Amino acid sequence: MTMAVQSPPRERALLVQVVLGHRDRQEAEDSLAELERLADTVGADVVGRITQRRSRPTAGLFIGEGKLADIQLACRESGAGLIIFDNDLSAVQVNNLDLALGIKVIDRTEVILQIFARRAQSAEAKVQVELAQLEYLVSRIPISRKQQRFQGGIGMRGPGESPLQLRNAPMRRRISDLKRRLDRIGKRRASVRKRRPWPLVSLVGYTNAGKSTLLNAFTRADAYVDDRLFATLDTKTRLVHVPGNRNVLLTDTVGFIRHLPHGLVASFRSTLDVAREADLLLLVADASNPGIIAHIKVVHETLEEIGAKDVPYLLVLNKSDAASQDQLDSLCTTYHDAVVVSARQSKGLDILKDRVVEALLAHDVHFPGREH
Ligand SMILES: Nc1nc2c(ncn2[C@@H]2O[C@H](COP(=O)(O)OP(=O)(O)OP(=O)(O)O)[C@@H](O)[C@H]2O)c(=O)[nH]1
Ligand SMILES: [Mg+2]
């Protein structure tokens, strides 16, 4: 399936990462590799990477002054027209770097917001993304830059908003208007959910773990599957038959990622409500990814942030077809309650269904309307 969104021309980007203090080397490398995929998703080809280790960032530029020349040289040699920092920069730092380097500088948060803006399809997702972008602009970018940023290319642009409309809108008023709209959508959703006839099971997990593929495997629903990050922004709910003539509602959700911008989590609250109000979470993880343990940690942290940490969950180790036996053995020792599946090959799904019923019954969840 292809996206209906038209892609703008690709840019050449240089990635810069400052490894602070005692940050774990492997984690920093994974984060940079992930930034490359994020850049690719947003339409930039990575033509170089620069890493610097420092005990702490400098206030004005984040990087040391000596690194400026290295970055400039790397941009000249590679023809990069965009610099993407893996670290979160302050408004002042972005401004100073822009001036010192003469090349557009953005950070990881801005890239993630941009991907969300491109992916948002439903009215609700669009409102949520626009809210997150406006909050980001208002809090971090000085007035003089707000206008400069709407010149096109990879930068801030809300879905459905022309640059001029955005520039002219009194942002604060727009923000409260969006919040009111989301509130209304959220309340409507909550009242529908309260009357739900079957237990609600939500798929949660790191982006690209295979949540949508698993939903499809269960139901043959046509959830959008893509090997890009953040394929799914809208929730999809499907009825799934489970053993004992029972049914559950299975919901797909937006994926998580390390350093998910807080504003984004807050804006996606109504989408993520399905996780908070679920009877059971299926925490899907990609067992073939060497970073799986860090991913699971990020998922637990994000669940805590959205107030879903007390919802019962089952860990689902997905992509067993692509993981080595050693990796699977070691994961099963660490997480002995986990269920191993391959969504792509529809393997392990019957066991997973049994475990879902077992977990729901163990938590006293009723199955109304069950045929005896
Ligand atoms: N080898 C293998 N690949 C899988 C499996 N399940 C999913 N994938 C692939 O993993 C990629 C991501 O799958 P999605 O289902 O889009 O992942 P997601 O968790 O919904 O991702 P987001 O919506 O971005 O959060 C796709 O290329 C899938 O084909 C599996 O069991 N085995
Ligand atoms: Mg998905």
Domains and CATH numbers, the chain: 11-108 (3.40.50.11060), 120-182 (no CATH), 197-362 (3.40.50.300)
Ligand nearest to the CA of 320: 1
Q: At what angle do helices 171-194 and 269-276 cross, to 10 degrees?
A: 30
Residue with more model confidence, 319 or 231:
319
What percent of the chain has a predicted confidence (pLDDT) above 70? 84
Residue with more model confidence, 183 or 157:
183
Q: What is the pLDDT of residues 211-259, one digit of tens each?
A: 999 999 988 655 566 667 666 666 678 888 899 989 898 998 888 888 7
3-state helix, strand and coil shares in percent for the chain, rounded to the nearest 5? 45, 20, 35
Q: Average pLDDT, stretch 255-283? A: 83
Which stretch of 24-33, 190-199, 320-329 has the lowest confidence by average pLDDT? 190-199
Q: What is the pLDDT of residues 28-72, one digit of tens each?
A: 999 999 999 999 988 999 999 999 999 998 888 999 888 999 999
Residues with CB under 6 A from ligand 1: 205, 207-213, 225-227, 229-232, 255, 318-319, 321-322, 342-344
Structure tokens of 340? 């191993």
Check residue 95 and give its pLDDT: 87
Indicate the Cα dihedral angle 171, 172, 177, 182, nearest 10°: 100
pTM value is 0.81
Ligand nearest to the CA of 226: 1
Distance between CA 118 and CA 41 in Å, rounded? 10
Check residue 225 and give its pLDDT: 67
Task: State in Å: Cα 342 to ligand 1 middle.
Answer: 10
Report the candidate in 284, 279, 293, 296 with the shortest Cα–Cα distance to residue 254: 284
Mutate to test the pocket of ligand 1, among 204, 225, 236, 340 (most ligand atoms within 8 A of CB): 225
Check residue 353 and give its pLDDT: 96
